[in-house]
Amino acid sequence: MTSTVNLKDIIASLPIFLELAIFKKLALSGKIEINDKNEFYQNLINIKLIISHSIFDSVFYGF
C-alpha cells in the first residue's frame, strides 16, 4: 500500500510559527502581497481551520 502526502497536509502539521515564517518569506520575496495584516492573520487562521477539518474528516470519515 502506497501513501502520498500533499502540501496541505504538510502545512497543516507545521506549528503556527513555521507557517508564519513561510508566509513572511513569501511576502518579502514578493510572491504574495499582504495589504492588511489583520485580514492576513484572519485568513491564515481560516486556512488552518479548513486544512485541520479536512484532515480530521479524511482520518475519521474516509473522505
- pLDDT tens across 10-36, in order? 666 666 667 677 777 877 787 777 788
Which three three-digit cell numbers place residue 49?
481551520
Residue 46 clears pLDDT 50, i.e. is over it: yes
Give the per-residue pLDDT at 1. 47
Give the per-residue pLDDT at 15. 67
Whole-angstrom CA distances from 45 to 3, 23, 31, 42 are 27, 13, 20, 5
The structure's pTM equals 0.39
Which of the four pLDDT bands, split at 50, 70 and 90, describes residue 9?
A: low
